[in-house]
């Protein structure tokens, strides 16, 4: 739980930004770990290493099959460190046991999926031949690696989010510099331990962490970096896009969400209550794709609200994330809790009905805990329905007819995810195709490792997952010849 080195050019270096910085346990507020304090100079050294490794190193000579073997080996080594990852996720980001299937298992599954896809990946697409002045012109579309990639994961699912970036980057043949969130840098450093054991050439994988904003500035502004992949807030995403514009580098932005779950008239409400309520307890609502707006037919509004509240009161148990019985852990930092409380206060002020929660639990005086919160009678124009809260807050919005529900769901500056609850999947597919959102789950079908993940509108640019994520890390080159 104490790391004092950063990973650059295949080795562990002492950072130049100062003494290691402390990481608190969100459940106790006590310092439980330390992370190395990197500087802009460290970041520039890492970028130089990645540039050399891409331009002149042996990595460029590897095939997708070679890189598939690296990914499979990395999955094995991450799995071997599973308990170490579990411990640091519990203690530094408050990850309860409910989240571990995503935090840990899905991360490993995605590495193996990227390995499988890379092993079968074809980088050349033969295009139709054309006749030109009596001669045949043949062409192929060839996918080259994007180059040096600056990867900036977020803190809520740190291992999973980093895997969604380095998996495609490795498969495509890129080199990379990872700049972790200062809230959760240890997962990326432990991941570097695993990469070090996978016979990856020097400079292919680099990690520089620290609290200074200059680290991200150096990465996004550097002309030696070809692509930035960022997961986080819209505000930071905009800043990255502006910084990247000066060098016209490619950007992939996976940003916020205010997703809607549309409950249709024929839905089995009882079977769906646990999933519908999940933003109020799953990882304390700290997930961008959670469906935090529940849209219900007006005549079912009171019934659904009562069942949601009853489920939350019976099921949710706040406490230490290390306790397997805990279903709701803390928010990651005090400033995040205060921001969530401000939005909750606005909901009350604007006339939404606070059904349950909204307070700091008196029985847990230490830690950044907040009660699971449900608002009813929410109008979609209210702040609680429009902002990404990133806390354990659920809004129930009544609608009048399917057309109204679709309009409400689309009335958002975000478009990341969505849910339709129904007994009629065919009808749901038709509705899904009218939703302006990057993904739709019918009856909470799981997001598979081979499907695209990303958003419309202010939810971002580009896609992760499967071959879509790998192609995101490539550039397309045309090669033509006459025969």
Q: What is the 3-state secondary structure (H, E, C) of 302-334?
A: HHHHHHHHHHHHHHCCECCCCCCCCCECCCCCH
Q: Is 93 helix (H, G, I), strand (E, B) or coil?
A: helix
50 near 177, Cβ under 8 Å?
yes
Say which of 288, 388, 395, 458 is annotated catalytic.
Answer: 288
Q: How far apart are CA 209 and CA 189, in angstroms?
A: 9
Which stretches does DSSP call E strand in 222-336? 227-231, 250-254, 260-263, 293-297
395 near 296, Cβ under 8 Å?
no
Say which of 254, 341, 371, 464 is annotated catalytic.
Answer: 254
Please report, for residues 17, 270, 368, the alpha-carbon distance to residue 191 in angstroms, rounded to integers and kept in the order given. Answer: 22, 41, 27
234 near 256, Cβ under 8 Å?
yes
Number of Cβ within 10 Å of residue 65's Cβ equals: 11
17 near 35, Cβ under 8 Å?
no
- Determine the straight-line distance between the first and last CA of the chain, rounded to whole angstroms: 62
Taking phi first (over 0 means left), then psi (-120 to 50 degrees means alpha), and beta for anything else, what does residue 444 get?
left
Nearest to 469 by CA among 161, 85, 77, 53: 161
Nearest to 143 by CA among 466, 467, 449: 467
Catalytic residue at 288?
yes
Q: Which helix (H) or strand (E) holds 13?
A: strand 11-13
- Please, what's the largest Cα pairwise distance for the chain? 84
Number of Cβ within 10 Å of residue 255's Cβ equals: 26
β-pair type (31-35, 124-132): unpaired
Please report, for residues 125, 141, 482, the alpha-carbon distance to residue 129 in angstroms, rounded to integers and kept in the order given. Answer: 12, 12, 10
Q: How far apart are CA 146 and CA 250, in angstroms?
A: 9
Name residues whose C-beta falls within 8 Å of residue 274's C-beta, 6 or more positions apart in sequence: 311, 315
Torsion angle defined by CA atoms of residues 460, 461, 464 and 467, in that order, rounded to the nearest 10 degrees: 160
Q: List, by residue number, the catalytic residues.
A: 254, 288
């Amino acid at each position: 739980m104490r790391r004092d080195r950063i990973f650059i050019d295949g080795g562990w270096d002492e950072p130049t930004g100062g003494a290691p910085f402390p990481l608190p346990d969100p459940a106790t507020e006590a310092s439980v770990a330390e992370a190395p304090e990197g500087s802009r100079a460290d970041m520039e050294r890492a970028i130089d290493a990645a540039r050399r490794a891409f331009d002149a190193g042996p990595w460029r000579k590897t095939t997708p099959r070679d890189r598939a073997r690296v990914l499979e080996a990395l999955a094995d080594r991450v799995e071997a460190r599973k308990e170490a990852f579990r411990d640091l996720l519990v203690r530094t980001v408050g990850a309860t046991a409910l989240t571990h299937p995503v935090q840990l298992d899905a991360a490993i599954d995605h590495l193996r999926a990227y390995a499988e896809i890379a092993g079968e990946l074809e980088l050349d697409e033969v295009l139709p031949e054309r006749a030109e002045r009596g001669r045949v012109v043949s062409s192929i579309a060839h996918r080259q690696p994007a180059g040096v990639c600056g990867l900036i994961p977020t803190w809520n699912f740190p291992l999973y989010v980093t895997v969604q970036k380095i998996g495609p980057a490795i498969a495509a043949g890129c080199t990379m510099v990872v700049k972790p969130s200062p809230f959760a840098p240890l997962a990326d450093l432990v991941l570097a331990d695993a990469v070090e054991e996978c016979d990856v050439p020097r400079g292919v994988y680099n990690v520089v962490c620290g609290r200074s904003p200059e680290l991200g500035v150096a990465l996004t502004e550097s002309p030696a970096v070809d692509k930035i992949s960022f997961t986080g807030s819209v505000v930071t995403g905009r800043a990255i896009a502006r910084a990247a514009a000066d060098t016209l580098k490619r950007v992939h932005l996976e940003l916020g969400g205010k997703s809607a779950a549309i409950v249709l008239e024929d839905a089995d409400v009882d079977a769906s209550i646990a999933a519908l309520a999940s933003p109020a307890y799953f990882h304390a609502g700290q997930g961008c794709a959670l469906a935090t707006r529940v849209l219900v037919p007006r005549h079912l509004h009171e019934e659904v609200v009562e069942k949601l509240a009853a489920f939350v009161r019976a099921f949710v148990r706040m406490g230490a994330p290390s306790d397997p019985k805990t279903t709701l852990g803390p928010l990651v930092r005090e400033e995040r809790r205060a921001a969530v409380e401000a939005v909750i206060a606005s909901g009350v002020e604007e006339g939404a009905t606070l059904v349950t929660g909204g307070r700091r639990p008196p029985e847990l005086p230490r830690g950044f805990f907040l009660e699971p919160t449900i608002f009813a009678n929410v109008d979609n124009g209210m702040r609680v329905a429009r902002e990404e809260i990133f806390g354990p807050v659920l809004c129930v919005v009544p609608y009048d007819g399917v057309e109204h529900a679709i309009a409400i769901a689309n009335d958002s500056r975000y478009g990341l995810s969505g849910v339709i609850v129904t007994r009629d999947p065919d009808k749901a597919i038709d509705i899904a195709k009218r939703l302006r959102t990057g993904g739709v789950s019918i009856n909470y079908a799981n997001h598979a490792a081979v499907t695209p993940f990303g958003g419309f509108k202010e939810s971002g640019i580009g896609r992760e997952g499967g071959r879509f994520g790998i192609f995101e890390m490539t550039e397309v080159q045309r090669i033509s010849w006459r025969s």
